[in-house]
Amino acid sequence: MTKQYALGAFFGTERDELVSQIPHAARLGMQVVEAGPGLAILKLPYRDELIGDPVRGVVFGGAITTLLDQALGLAVSCSLEDLRPIATLDLRIDYLRPAQPHLDLIGKAECYKVTRNVAFARAVAYERDIADPFATSLATFMLSSTSESAFAKALDDYVGKTK
């Protein structure tokens, strides 16, 4: 039997509706590169307003944290059979080096384990080559028992507007 995913209709490339419904992600200009079963790859396009260190031109760490948290959360949502609210319980980010200035940043996340109440995910952030990440991350997410997800409602509203 094939597993059915709540977000299965949105799997594929360039499905920005998966982030455009989240105000903070939309404000930062995040884009979906790819979404699939337990997978999310997001891009944060480089913009001067994201610079945290004007001398070196390095992106602010908070924007990187948001990119990884968003990618991790989307990977978890993409692993669920029914879309329900999730919340970040624990987020660890290891910054391996500064991100290179003037380059788009990519966050690739995978959800590797889902239990009844908690999901576990890992991610890397890189600019040019995934083999040379500037940050890695591990996270756990609480899975709500309710099916009343604000994200699901926003997606439903989006789908209704596009019909």
CA nearest 109: which of 85, 128, 87, 133?
133
- Residue 122 falls inside a structural domain: yes
- Residue 40 falls inside a structural domain: yes
User: Is-contact 121 141, C-beta < 8 A?
Assistant: yes
- Residue 35 falls inside a structural domain: yes
- Measure the CA–CA gap between 116 and 59, rounded to whole angstroms: 37
Q: How many domains does the chain have?
A: 1
pLDDT single digits (tens) 74-112: 999 999 999 899 999 999 999 999 999 999 999 999 999
pLDDT category of residue 117 using cuts at 50, 70 and 90: very high
Q: What is the pLDDT of residue 96?
A: 96
Q: What is the pLDDT of residue 161?
A: 66
- Residue 104 falls inside a structural domain: yes
Name every residue whose Cβ is closer than 8 Å to that of residue 160 and which is 6 or more positions away in sequence: none
Q: Which domain holds residue 42?
A: 8-162
CATH number for position 28: 3.10.129.10
Average pLDDT over residues 23-38: 95
Highest-confidence segment of 22-31, 35-44, 53-62: 35-44
SS3 category, 23: helix
pLDDT category of residue 158 using cuts at 50, 70 and 90: low
**Tokens at residue 131, please?**
């083999």
- Residue 3 falls inside a structural domain: no
The mean of the pLDDT values for the chain is 91
